[in-house]
Amino acid sequence: MAEETSGEKRFDPTPKRKRDAALKGDVLRSKEVATAVATATGIFTLVLIGPWLLDGVRGVALASFQFELDRGAQFDPGILAWRAGTAVLPPILVIGVVVMIVTVAAQLLLGEGRFVPQNLNPKGSRINPLNGLKRMFGPQGLIELGKSILKLLLMGSFAAYWISAHLEALLGLGRGSYEAQVAFAFDAIGSLVVLMIVGLLIIAAIDYPIQAFQRNKRLKMSFQELKDETKQSEGSPEVKAQRRQRQRDLARGSVGKAMQDAQFVVVNPMHFSVALTYDPALAPAPVVLAKGRGETALAMREMAAEMGLPVLRYPQLARAIYFTTRANQMVREELYIAIAALVAFVMSLKRGERVPMPHVDVPEDMRFNADGKPEIPA
């Protein structure tokens, strides 16, 4: 029973799971979003460069229907075709390039900005008839069939609405003036295009969450997979211990020389460490030789133990020194009394005396939490 529970895929995919799936070609895709973006971009671009395209078409038409008698012997269809192509193809190419760029950008945005070249590799499963039948009659095929029916109903409803709104004018075509008919055609086509874009956007808005839900369901993880991923991400205890040791070795290298001149270390008790010394001949107040947090703090504690330096656990004082004093600087004047008590205690230990740990007070305006923010008195 426990094995069945651990193997049940009921946990949402982790970011790593999604990244690994994307590297294998499984990214969020939506054909409807691509269709809507491509269509809207093409129409918008056509509106912007429509005059350029119309000028080219007009020039081709004039060149095709005009004929000079004195040039009849020099008639060359290739030249006419070349002129027609150079007049019409540039704006068409501009539309195509803009649509292609925007469509690719939209798909990259859906796919977390990933371009997966593996998807271009030939796969036998794509042309396998059995896999094709599974896609057609399986759950995914039924979903696609339902989407197609809904698209047909939606776009058919829009078409019916457009026809009903323009039916009378359509039946009256040919009875009015040329200018009126051209104006009607322009308005009618414009309204039809707007309806088509709205329909495609509605379909895309419905399809996108469906595709996201299906991908999330496809990448669901079992409890065992979560455990395995966590173990791979964080590493085994041995690997983590080795990593920590490397970090401490690096920390030792950065603060080791300074620790050689330290007289004692103040800690908090593990997250912060501050190494200090006091020599009246060098400075009128105690000096911070080195400080660190995290792995550096642990390395400083280990070095202090190896060197026989007293390690004094005073959390508030350790944080106060850490956040108010840089290395190779004298401590703040507000902390003189507290650190003087520690200096006297360390000197007593060196003389072989057995004295209790002193009680020190840190001024309220020098008290900080682990993030370096002032502590608010209760």
pLDDT digits (tens, 9 = 90+) for 262-317: 999 999 877 899 999 998 888 899 999 999 888 888 888 888 888 899 999 999 99
Beta bridge pairs of residue 311:
265
Chain length of the chain: 378
Nearest C-alpha neighbor of 155 from the set 201, 210, 207: 201
Question: Using CA atoms, how far apart are residues 30 and 19, in angstroms rounded to an integer?
Answer: 18
Three-state DSSP class for 283?
Answer: coil
Average pLDDT of span 36-65:
74
Count Cβ atoms within 10 A of the Cβ of residue 129 and give its class: 0-12 exposed, 13-18 middle, 19 or more buried. Answer: exposed
User: What are the residue boundaries of the structural domains of the chain, listed by start?
Assistant: 11-120+127-225, 243-366
Specify the pLDDT at position 1.
Answer: 40
The reported pLDDT for the residue numbered 2 is 43
How many angstroms separate the CA atoms of 15 and 199, rounded?
A: 33
| Average of per-residue pLDDT values in the chain | 78
Q: What is the pLDDT of residues 7-20, one digit of tens each?
A: 677 788 887 888 77
pLDDT tens digit string along 128-172? 666 666 666 666 677 777 777 887 888 888 888 888 887 777 777
Please provide the CATH number assigned to the domain covering 243-366: 3.40.1690.10
Residues contacting 117, CB < 8 A, separation 6+: none
**d(Cα 143, Cα 152) in Å, to the nearest integer?**
14
pLDDT score at 154: 82
Is the Cβ–Cβ distance between 274 and 322 less than 8 Å?
yes
pLDDT classification of 246: cutoffs 50, 70, 90: low
What 3-state class would DSSP assign to 88? helix
- Bridge partners, residue 265, by sequence: 275, 311
Predicted confidence at residue 83, as pLDDT, reads 67
| pLDDT above 80 for 253 | no
C-alpha to C-alpha distances, 64 to 59, 73, 79, 89, 281, nearest whole angstrom: 9, 16, 11, 16, 103
Q: Which of 275, 253, 257 is nearest to 331 (CA)?
A: 275
Most confident of 101-105, 178-182, 291-295: 291-295
Res 51 pLDDT > 80: no
- Whether pLDDT at 126 is above 80: no
Cα separations (Å) of 146 from 29, 86, 153, 217? 18, 45, 11, 19
Torsion angles phi and psi, residue 287, rounded to 5: -120, 140
In a 3-state reduction of DSSP, which class is residue 360?
Answer: coil
Phi/psi of residue 275, each to 5°? -95, 130
Question: Full-prediction pTM beyond 0.75?
Answer: no
